[in-house]
């Protein structure tokens, strides 16, 4: 059974539907490759998939330790090759991780942080990408802000 249905809209654009939820994503070719750059490009989605897989997988494992990573942020930078064939050369992911336990800011111990950081480098997308794609993942832990101050 399909997971996603895609309609090609012309002009290098697609409408993608996640069949279980009905959520839509539009893609557009980037401006440096004949598109309008008005939506995620397919390679943007690959970079996004890596970053969201990293934080989701870390959050699953953090939850097992009674930690919530809500409030963490990720910035993603995708770099394409400058020479043909056109492909992703590098995906940079800068994570700022904030943890909460029972709604209170909590900075995990070194062992827990190391375990979660290892998970970041072995999430399903990370280990599925071609080894020629450099995955530059940086992780910084910050103390979370108490939820009542938000």
Q: What is the pTM of this model?
A: 0.93
Burial of 76: CB neighbours in 10 Å, binned 0-12, 13-18, 19+:
middle
Residue 43, CB-side half-sphere exposure with 13 Å CA sphere: 19
Burial of 117: CB neighbours in 10 Å, binned 0-12, 13-18, 19+:
middle
Q: For residue range 120-143, what is the model confidence (pLDDT) as tens digits?
A: 999 999 999 999 999 999 999 998
Class of domain 41-149: alpha beta
Residue 105 CA to its chain's centroid (Å) = 23
Average pLDDT over the chain, rounded to an integer: 95
Per-domain boundaries in the chain = 1-40, 41-149
pLDDT band per the 50, 70, 90 thresholds, residue 45: very high
Mean per-residue pLDDT, 34-52: 97
Pair of tokens at residue 149:
């101050």
Apex 120 CA angle, 143 and 40, nearest 5: 95
Angle, helices 42-64/110-120, rounded to nearest 10 degrees: 150
Residue 144 pLDDT: 75
């Amino acid at each position: 059974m399909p997971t996603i249905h895609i309609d090609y809209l012309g002009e290098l654009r697609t409408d993608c539907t996640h069949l279980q939820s009905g959520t839509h994503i539009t893609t557009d070719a980037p401006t440096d490759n004949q598109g309008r750059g008005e939506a995620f490009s397919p390679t943007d989605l690959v970079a996004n998939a890596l970053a969201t897989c990293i934080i989701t997988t870390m959050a699953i494992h953090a939850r097992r330790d009674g930690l919530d990573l809500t409030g963490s942020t990720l910035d993603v930078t995708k770099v394409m090759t400058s020479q043909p064939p056109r492909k992703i050369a590098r995906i940079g992911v800068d994570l700022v991780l904030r943890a909460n336990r029972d709604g209170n800011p909590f900075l995990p111990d070194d062992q827990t942080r190391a375990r979660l950081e290892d998970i970041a480098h072995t999430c399903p997308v990370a280990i599925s990408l071609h080894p020629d794609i450099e995955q530059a993942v940086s992780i910084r832990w910050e103390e979370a802000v108490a939820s009542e101050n938000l």
